[in-house]
Structure 1
Amino acid sequence: MADNIQPPIEFETPRLRLRQWQGSDLAPFAALAADPQVMEFLLPVPTRADSDALAARIRARIAGQGWGFWAVEHRESGEFAGFTGLNVPLAALPFSPCVEIGWRFARKWWGQGLATEAARAALQVGFERLGFDEIVAFTALGNLRSAAVMERLGMREDLDGAFDHPAVPEGHALRRHRLYRIARPKLG
């Protein structure tokens, strides 16, 4: 089984480096995850132990398959900015099986186009290097910032695809999600 392990895919954009997670990412990731504005549309706000455990799971997935939610490093400063990448959701979603794209950045980095830049590069890896035919994204109905990034990426909302996220408790304001899709670009 160990022979199937893929070396981690890492890549750069003009301003960012998307790479495997490092121990030095844990503290800034925990700070990002403890920020109520960053976590406004996500549940639950994790403890430091929860945050470290999530980072370890993400790192293990990248180590095992070569791709996942990459740590995003700001190239000029060398600072951890957040994560962006591709993932096979663990939750049974109405449109599973699927590959999703997702991102989460510290507030310091908001409003600079970094989420779009990183996600555009991750989509390119997903389509060109990994050969996915379609990538989806989803967010709580009220998360207009993430929906705007999805639209800037060329993703289109599946108006028939709205769903109740199974990991969000019934009756919770964040349970209803909208679904976006993008297909691999056709050549020629």
Structure 2
Amino acid sequence: MSEFRLVTDRLILRSWREADRDPFFALNRDPAVMEFLPETDRAASNDAVDRMQAAQAAHGHCFWAVERQGDGAFLGFCGPMPAREPLNEVELGWRLCRAAWGQGYASEAARASLAWCWANLATPTVMAITVPANVRSRAVMERIGMTEVEGGDFDHPHVPEGDPLRRHVLYRIARPA
């Protein structure tokens, strides 16, 4: 299977490679990056890469690896995951290393991913989720045109009861007319 590539002005969104596992694990060990996400050990980090590769092979899309064009640095991921529990809608998601924050990379990658969805998927909407306190991700959602779904807050079933990260907010955007 050929490698997926989506090129923006400054980034390359692409299929995951074996060489991405170490920098992805390093990203997942950064407390600032993981402030609003569950703790991730090496096995869970590798499992996540395996899930991305499986989703790409089965559906043609996933949270793609993101690298910077200028130097090929691995920055994290962004892309549309196929519909899955708990909401069964295409989910747009991103996670970037701290060194990539504040440069517009998340918005750039998310906009390109969203445009790819409209051009390649029949989905009428795309959603994104995060915990209420994650103002940086919520700002990206709003910058790309997503709006918070009124009454859409929910307890994520994969986060244990009592965990402060269990409550999530739901954002959504409809296919342009």
TM-score (ref. length: structure 1): 0.89
Shift of residue 150, structure 1, vs aligned partner: 0.2
Aligned with residue 17 of structure 2, among 18, 22, 34: 22
Shift of residue 8, structure 1, vs aligned partner: 5.4
Aligned with residue 76 of structure 1, among 45, 70, 74: 70
SS for the counterpart of 1:147 is helix
Question: What does 1:108-147 correspond to in 2, within 5 Å?
Answer: 108-147=99-138
Shift of residue 132, structure 1, vs aligned partner: 1.9
Question: Does the 8 Å contact 2:62/2:81 carry over to 1?
Answer: yes
In the other structure, the counterpart of 1:107 is 98
Distance in structure 2 (CA, Å) of the matches to 1:114 and 1:68: 18
In the other structure, the counterpart of 2:161 is 170
Question: What does 1:42-121 correspond to in 2, within 5 Å?
Answer: 42-43=37-38, 45-88=39-82, 90-91=84-85, 93=86, 96-121=87-112
Match of 1:24, as an amino acid? A
Shift of residue 7, structure 1, vs aligned partner: 5.6
Q: Which runs of 5+ in 1 are unaligned?
A: 1-5
Q: Computing the radius of gyration over CA atoms, which structure comes out larger, 1 or 2? A: 1
In the other structure, the counterpart of 2:170 is 179
| CA distances 1:45-77 after superposition (whole Å, capped 9, x unpaired) | 211222112112211211222111100010001
SS for the counterpart of 1:63 is helix
Shift of residue 89, structure 1, vs aligned partner: 5.1
Distance in structure 1 (CA, Å) of the matches to 2:164 and 2:41: 22
In the other structure, the counterpart of 1:3 is none
| CA distances 1:93-129 after superposition (whole Å, capped 9, x unpaired) | 2xx3211100000101001010000000000011112
| Distance change (3 Å), C-alpha of 1:66 and 1:88 | closer
TM-score (ref. length: structure 2): 0.95
Match of 2:97, as an amino acid? A
Aligned with residue 26 of structure 2, among 25, 31, 39: 31
Moved more, 51-60 or 11-20: 51-60
| Distance change (3 Å), C-alpha of 1:164 and 1:73 | same
Q: Which runs of 5+ in 2 are unaligned?
A: none
SS for the counterpart of 1:72 is strand
The count of aligned residue pairs is 177
| Distance change (3 Å), C-alpha of 1:33 and 1:144 | same
